[in-house]
C-alpha cells in the first residue's frame, strides 16, 4: 500500500512497518517460497503498491489468480486479523487499472513480435538449436538484413531458410558454411514450434514495448499477461519474457537512479528461464538485468527456491521476500541453507530455522536501504492486497478488455505486409518463369535441329528418289529404245529376209531356168533386182548371211537371224 507519506508499505514485522525504498526498486528483487506459501499474493501486494504510486508493472498470470488485481478487494477474516496486527483501520479496498494481454489473443489483447525483433540468439533458444545450427541461423539473419528482407513471421523465416539452403553454394563464400543438415534441422524445429501454435506469436502489429509504460488517473497500469496456456510451453513463455526484458533494455533511455522506477517487471516461474539455457545466453541475461537498472526498470523474479537462479543473477537481487521452504530431503536442506545464507543475519533468530517455520503470507524480508545496502533480515507478515485475491469472471475480463483505449485495441487487427516470404516468392516465381523460358528455348532449339535434320533427310531421300526415278526413266527409255531397235531390227530383218528371199529366189530360179531368153520380158522389171541380186550374188550366200547377220545388233538376234537365214536357205 502506498501511504499518504509516500511510502511503499508492503510488510510488517515485530519492529513495525517495512517499506521498499523507491530509489532502490530498480535494484531488482526475488520472491521465493514453496507452493501455496503466498508468493502470488506478495507479488500482487508489491504490484498494486507500485500502481498506487504511479509505477506501471508487467506480470505473467500463471493460474489466472492474478487477474483479481483488476477488481476491488474485500474484507475477510484473514485480512481482519492482519488489520488488527498492523494497526490498519478501514482499509480502502480498490482495484488497479489493468490491461490484459495474451500471446494467443484469447484472454487478452495479442502480444506479438517479429522474428527479426526476437533475434537469432533468442530464437535459437526457442527452437532448441545447437551451436552449429545457431551459427547458421545467425548467417540467415545477416543475409536477410543485407538484402533488406523483412523477417516478420514464421513463413518469412521458413522461406528465408529455403532460399539460403537452395543458394548455399553461392552464399557460403561470403557468409560462411550452411550445410543442408543444419538448415533441415532448423526447419524441423520450426515445424515443432508451429505445432505448439507459436506461429501466432510472430506477426504484426508487433507489440510496442512503450505501451507497457502508461498511467490511468495517476495510477500505474498493470499489464497482466495471461499465461496459463503459455506456461505449458516453457520455452516459449520464458523466451518471450526474456525478449520483453531485452526490448526494454534496447528501447528505454538511460535515466539513472530515480525516486521511483519507470516500470517493474515480475518474472513468475523464473526457473523456466534458466532451464536448458546456454551459458552464453545466461551471461547475456545477467548483463541485460544489470544494465536495465539504469533505464529505470526493476525486475522481480518469482520462483520456489533461490537456488533456481544462477548465482551471478541472484547476487543482483537486492530486495527479497522469502516465504517458507520445506526441507524433507538433504537436497531441500541444502537449498534452505543456501537461501538462509543469502540474507544479512538477524541475531534475534536463526534464518535457517525460521524459513521452515513460516506460515502462509509470512516471509523473511530484506530490502535495500537508502544507500543500497541490504537491511538485516526480518521475519514479517506481508500486507494484504486492496484488490481482489483470486481469479475474476469471464464477464469481468471482457468488460476490462472493452474499456481499453483504441490504440491497445488495434493490436487485434493482424496484418501481413510484404516481407521476405512475399519477396522471395516473387523471386522464386520469376526464377521459375525464367527457368521455364530457358527450358522452352532449349526445347525449341532441339526441335529446330531435329526439324533441320529431318529436312536434310527428306531432301536426301527426295534426291535419291529423283535419282531412282531418273534411273528408272532412263531404264524405261533404254528399254523403249531397245524395243524400238528391236522393232526396227525386226522390220530390218523382215526387209532383209524378203530381199534375201527375193535374191535367193531369183538366184534359185536363175540356177533352175539356166538364164532362158524367155525371161528377157521380165528383164526390165527385174533389172533392178537382178542388178541387186547380181550384186548380192557377187558375194554368194555366205556374203548375204554375213551382211544380214551384221545387221543384227545382238548375238541373240544374230542367232535368230542366222536361224531364219538357215531356214530360208534349206
Ligand X SMILES: Nc1ncnc2c1ncn2[C@@H]1O[C@H](COP(=O)(O)OP(=O)(O)OP(=O)(O)O)[C@@H](O)[C@H]1O
- What residue ranges bind ligand X (CB under 6 A)? 33, 35-41, 78, 360-361, 382, 384, 389
Closer to ligand X by Cβ: residue 133 or 322: 322
Taking alpha carbons only, the member of 388, 275, 372, 289 closest to residue 41 is: 388
Q: How far apart are CA 214 and CA 13, in angstroms?
A: 33
The site partner of 360 among ligand X, Mg ion, none (C-beta below 5 to 8 Å per kind) is: ligand X
Closer to Mg ion by Cβ: residue 40 or 182: 40
Closer to ligand X by Cβ: residue 96 or 168: 96
Closer to Mg ion by Cβ: residue 34 or 79: 34
Interacting stretch for Mg ion, rule CB under 5 A, among 9-17, 35-43, 323-331, 438-446?
35-43
Q: How many residues bind Mg ion (CB under 5 A)?
A: 1
Q: What is the largest CA-CA distance in the chain?
A: 198
Closer to ligand X by Cβ: residue 301 or 489: 301
Cell numbers for 291, please give them: 544494465
Q: Nearest approach, Cβ of 320 to Mg ion (angstroms)?
A: 17
Judge if the upstream peptide bond of residue 12 is cis by omega within 30 degrees of 0: no
- The residues in 96-115 that bind Mg ion, with binding defined as CB under 5 A, are none
Interacting stretch for Mg ion, rule CB under 5 A, among 38-46, 280-288, 365-373, 501-509?
38-46
Q: Nearest approach, Cβ of 393 to ligand X (angstroms)?
A: 17
Q: Nearest approach, Cβ of 33 to ligand X (angstroms)?
A: 5
The site partner of 235 among ligand X, Mg ion, none (C-beta below 5 to 8 Å per kind) is: none
Q: What is the DSSP letter of 377?
A: P
Q: Nearest approach, Cβ of 62 to ligand X (angstroms)?
A: 7
Q: Nearest approach, Cβ of 1 to ligand X (angstroms)?
A: 12
Positive or negative torsion for Cα 131, 136, 142, 144: negative
Q: Nearest approach, Cβ of 135 to ligand X (angstroms)?
A: 39
Q: How far apart are CA 272 and CA 66, in angstroms?
A: 19
Q: What is the DSSP letter of 254?
A: P
Q: Nearest approach, Cβ of 65 to ligand X (angstroms)?
A: 6
Instruction: Using alpha carbons only, give the angle 482, 485, 490 rounded to the nearest 5 degrees.
Output: 125
C-alpha of 491 from chain center: 101
Q: Nearest approach, Cβ of 11 to ligand X (angstroms)?
A: 9
Q: How far apart are CA 367 and CA 85, in angstroms?
A: 21
By beta carbon distance, the residue nearest Mg ion is 40
Closer to ligand X by Cβ: residue 40 or 114: 40
- Inter-residue contact 230 to 238 (CB < 8 Å): no
Kindly state the helix (H) or strand (E) to which residue 241 belongs, with its residue range. helix 234-251
Closer to ligand X by Cβ: residue 262 or 323: 323
The site partner of 329 among ligand X, Mg ion, none (C-beta below 5 to 8 Å per kind) is: none
The site partner of 125 among Mg ion, ligand X, none (C-beta below 5 to 8 Å per kind) is: none
For residue 40, state whether it binds Mg ion (rule: CB under 5 A).
yes
- The residues in 431-470 that bind Mg ion, with binding defined as CB under 5 A, are none
Interacting stretch for Mg ion, rule CB under 5 A, among 36-44, 88-96, 198-206, 284-292?
36-44
Positive or negative torsion for Cα 522, 526, 531, 533: negative
* C-alpha separations of 172 from 176, 178, 187 in Å: 5, 7, 19
Closer to ligand X by Cβ: residue 34 or 245: 34
For residue 37, state whether it binds Mg ion (rule: CB under 5 A).
no
Q: How far apart are CA 209 and CA 250, in angstroms?
A: 10
Taking alpha carbons only, the member of 528, 32, 540 closest to residue 324 is: 32
- Inter-residue contact 185 to 230 (CB < 8 Å): no
The site partner of 50 among Mg ion, ligand X, none (C-beta below 5 to 8 Å per kind) is: none
Cell numbers for 490, please give them: 525386226
- Inter-residue contact 264 to 28 (CB < 8 Å): no
Closer to ligand X by Cβ: residue 33 or 220: 33
Q: Nearest approach, Cβ of 93 to ligand X (angstroms)?
A: 13
Q: How far apart are CA 78 and CA 86, in angstroms?
A: 12
Q: How far apart are CA 238 and CA 281, in angstroms?
A: 12
Which residues bind to Mg ion, rule: CB under 5 A? Answer: 40
Amino acid at each position: 500500500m502506498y501511504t499518504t507519506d509516500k511510502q511503499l508499505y508492503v510488510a510488517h514485522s515485530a519492529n513495525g512497518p517495512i517499506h521498499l525504498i523507491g530509489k532502490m526498486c530498480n535494484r531488482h528483487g526475488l520472491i521465493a517460497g514453496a507452493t501455496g506459501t503466498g508468493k502470488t499474493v506478495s507479488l500482487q501486494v508489491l504490484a498494486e503498491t507500485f500502481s498506487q504510486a504511479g509505477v506501471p508493472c508487467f506480470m505473467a498470470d500463471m493460474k489466472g489468480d492474478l487477474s483479481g488485481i483488476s477488481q476491488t478487494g474485500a474484507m475477510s477474516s484473514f485480512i481482519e486479523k492482519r488489520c488488527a496486527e498492523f494497526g490498519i483501520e478501514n482499509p480502502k479496498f480498490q482495484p488497479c487499472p489493468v490491461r490484459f494481454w495474451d500471446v494467443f489473443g484469447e484472454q487478452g489483447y495479442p502480444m506479438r513480435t517479429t522474428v527479426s525483433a526476437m533475434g537469432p540468439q533468442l530464437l535459437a533458444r526457442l527452437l532448441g538449436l545447437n551451436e552449429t545450427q545457431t551459427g547458421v541461423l545467425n548467417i540467415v539473419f545477416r543475409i536477410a538484413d543485407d538484402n533488406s528482407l523483412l523477417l516478420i513471421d514464421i513463413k518469412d523465416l521458413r522461406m528465408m531458410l529455403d532460399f539460403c539452403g537452395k543458394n548455399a553454394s553461392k552464399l557460403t563464400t561470403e557468409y560462411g558454411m550452411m550445410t543442408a543438415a543444419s538448415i533441415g534441422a532448423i526447419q524441423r524445429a520450426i515445424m515443432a514450434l508451429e505445432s505448439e501454435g507459436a506461429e501466432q506469436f510472430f506477426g504484426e502489429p508487433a507489440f510496442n514495448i512503450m505501451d507497457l509504460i502508461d498511467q490511468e488517473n495517476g495510477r500505474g497500469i498493470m499489464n497482466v499477461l495471461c499465461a496459463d496456456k503459455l506456461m505449458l510451453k516453457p520455452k516459449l513463455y520464458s523466451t518471450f519474457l526474456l525478449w520483453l526484458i531485452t526490448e526494454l533494455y534496447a528501447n528505454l533511455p538511460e535515466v539513472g537512479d530515480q525516486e521511483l522506477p519507470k516500470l517493474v517487471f515480475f518474472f513468475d516461474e523464473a526457473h523456466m528461464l534458466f532451464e536448458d539455457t546456454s551459458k552464453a545466453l545466461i551471461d547475456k541475461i545477467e548483463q541485460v538485468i544489470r544494465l536495465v537498472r539504469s533505464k529505470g526498470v526493476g525486475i522481480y523474479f518469482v520462483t520456489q527456491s533461490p537456488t533456481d537462479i544462477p548465482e551471478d543473477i541472484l547476487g543482483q537481487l537486492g530486495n527479497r521476500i522469502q516465504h517458507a521452504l520445506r526441507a524433507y530431503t538433504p537436497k531441500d536442506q541444502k537449498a534452505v541453507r543456501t537461501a538462509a545464507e543469502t540474507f544479512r543475519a538477524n541475531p534475534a533468530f536463526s534464518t535457517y530455522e525460521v524459513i521452515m517455520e513460516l506460515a502462509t503470507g509470512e516471509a523473511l524480508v530484506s530490502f535495500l536501504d537508502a544507500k543500497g545496502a541490504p537491511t538485516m533480515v526480518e521475519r514479517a507478515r506481508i500486507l494484504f492486497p486492496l484488490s481482489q485475491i483470486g481469479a475474476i469472471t469471464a464477464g469481468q475480463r471482457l468488460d476490462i478488455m472493452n474499456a481499453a483505449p483504441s490504440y491497445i485495441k488495434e493490436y487485434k487487427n493482424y496484418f501481413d505486409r510484404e516481407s521476405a516470404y512475399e519477396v522471395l516468392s516473387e523471386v522464386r516465381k520469376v526464377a521459375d518463369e525464367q527457368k521455364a523460358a530457358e527450358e522452352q528455348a532449349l526445347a525449341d532449339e532441339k526441335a529446330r535441329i531435329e526439324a533441320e535434320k529431318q529436312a536434310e533427310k527428306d531432301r536426301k531421300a527426295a534426291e535419291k528418289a529423283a535419282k531412282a526415278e531418273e534411273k528408272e526413266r532412263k531404264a524405261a527409255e533404254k528399254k523403249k529404245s531397245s524395243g524400238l531397235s528391236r522393232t526396227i531390227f525386226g522390220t530390218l530383218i523382215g526387209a532383209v529376209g524378203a530381199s534375201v528371199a527375193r535374191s535367193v529366189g531369183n538366184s534359185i530360179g536363175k540356177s533352175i531356168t539356166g538364164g532362158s531368153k524367155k525371161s528377157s520380158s521380165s528383164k526390165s522389171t527385174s533389172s533392178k533386182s537382178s542388178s541387186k541380186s547380181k550384186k548380192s550374188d557377187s558375194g554368194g550366200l555366205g556374203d548375204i548371211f554375213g551382211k544380214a547377220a551384221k545387221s543384227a545388233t545382238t548375238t541373240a538376234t544374230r542367232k535368230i537371224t542366222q536361224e531364219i537365214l538357215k531356214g530360208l536357205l534349206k
